[in-house]
Amino acid sequence: MVHSYKTHVLTYGDAFVDYIAEDRTNTSFSMFLGGATVNVAVGVARLGVPSAFITITGDDPTSEFVRGELKFEEVIMEYAKLEPEKRVSGVYVHLTEDNDRVFHKYIDDAPDIQVEADDLIEEAFEKASILNLCSGTLFHPKALETSRIAVEFAKKHGALFSFDANIRPLRWSSEKQCRETISSFFKDADLLKFTREELAFLTETQTLEDGLAKLAPLEIPIILVTAGEEGTYAALNGQVQHVPVEPVVPVDTTGAGDAFMAGILRYVHLNGLPKTIKSLIECCTFANRLGALATTKAGALTAMPRLSDLNM
């Protein structure tokens, strides 16, 4: 850890319940705690790093299930909010013939009950080495405002800002709104993570090279572009390095990107932001292994690796 007073990785976002198809017929489903930010928060904790999560839950059985699971995973919840009327969102995840995930349908019975800017506790940011956000809640005006204030608090208190695009098209009213809202966070980021498809969509380009070139004027220190079995393309101050991944036999790719992100955040918490190509390769190699391991088990959170899975 770079500074001893920076005690945890901080994540903000929605808790979800994933209803994941049991097979490729997509006719029967199993319920799991999920959501990208939940997966990352738990993934970081499973890797032995204190992980704090800012979210909102209610007083119903589903919310109690969510809180109980997060407590079991030793995620720090003292900065989270409990609002009795809140209901945790759900998403149905279908599986394709290639075992890829497809987010089929969202359920959200209390969309306007969100963590608000006034609910944020600055101590969470004072103690954070890095704040991690994704775009999953940015479609909602309240969550968007809260996200912007969270970034301001992170900068104020010397925490790095990591942003994972993690686009869910069904949640946006238009491609234009999606693209403009997500892109507005890039200028403040110390670390950005995309899939190749997300990079192409957000930069309106056709190639990896053109997408990175379009982002170059922002001078983002680190950009990570994940490419499945190809591994990761990592840019450090504009210098691009391909980091391959050891092949595995995938069972379910749900949550692989979140496991990858958890690995990146663990590395940054312990070592700081990579400053050299050597340290960048080390960081991405570790994260690639986690992402690959996550694909060898069904589910998202259920497949999130622990350090013991890496024989460390």
Read off the pLDDT of each residue in 149-174 and give the average, rounded to a whole number: 95
Residue position matching structure tokens 């198809």: 21
What local confidence, expressed as pLDDT, does residue 263 receive? 97
Query: Residue 102 is which amino acid?
Result: V
pTM of the model: 0.91
Q: Is a pLDDT exceeding 80 seen at residue 300?
A: no
Q: Which residues pair with 89 in a beta bridge?
A: 16
% residues pLDDT > 70 (the chain): 98
More confident residue, 93 or 263: 263
User: Could you give the count of Cα atoms lying within 13 Å of 166 in the half-sphere of its Cβ?
Assistant: 27
H/E stretch holding 92: strand 89-95
Q: Which pairing describes strands 29-34 and 81-82: parallel, antiparallel, or unpaired?
A: unpaired
Q: What is the pLDDT of residues 77-120, one digit of tens each?
A: 999 999 999 999 888 889 888 877 788 888 888 989 999 999 99
What local confidence, expressed as pLDDT, does residue 86 receive? 97
Q: How many helices (H) and strands (E) does the chain have?
A: 9, 14
* Sheet of 239-243, strand order: 51-54, 8-12, 128-134, 160-164, 191-195, 222-226, 232-236, 239-243
Task: Specify the CATH number for 8-303; select among 1.10.1040.10, 3.40.50.10440, 3.40.1190.20, 1.10.10.410.
Answer: 3.40.1190.20
Q: Which residues contact 17 (CB under 8 A, 6 or more apart)?
A: 31, 32, 33, 34, 62, 65, 66, 88, 89, 90, 91
Mean of the per-residue pLDDT values of the chain = 93
More confident residue, 251 or 184: 184
297 exposed, middle or buried (CB, 10 Å; 0-12, 13-18, 19+)? middle
The span from the CA of 220 to the CA of 216, in Å, is 7
The span from the CA of 189 to the CA of 40, in Å, is 18
The span from the CA of 45 to the CA of 51, in Å, is 5
What local confidence, expressed as pLDDT, does residue 312 receive? 52
Q: Using 50, 70 and 90 to split pLDDT, how confident is the model at 299?
A: low
What local confidence, expressed as pLDDT, does residue 35 receive? 85
> What does each C-alpha distance from 193 to 103, 104, 163, 284 come to in angstroms?
20, 23, 6, 11
What local confidence, expressed as pLDDT, does residue 87 receive? 95
H/E stretch holding 153: helix 141-156
More confident residue, 251 or 192: 192
What local confidence, expressed as pLDDT, does residue 138 receive? 96
Read off the pLDDT of each residue in 255-276 and give the average, rounded to a whole number: 96
* Sheet of 16-21, strand order: 29-34, 16-21, 89-95, 101-107
The span from the CA of 78 to the CA of 211, in Å, is 39
Q: What is the pLDDT of residues 11-66, one digit of tens each?
A: 999 998 888 888 889 999 887 888 899 999 999 999 999 999 999 999 998 899 99
Q: Are 36 and 162 in contact (CB under 8 A)?
A: no
What local confidence, expressed as pLDDT, does residue 88 receive? 93
Token code pair at residue 52: 């704090």
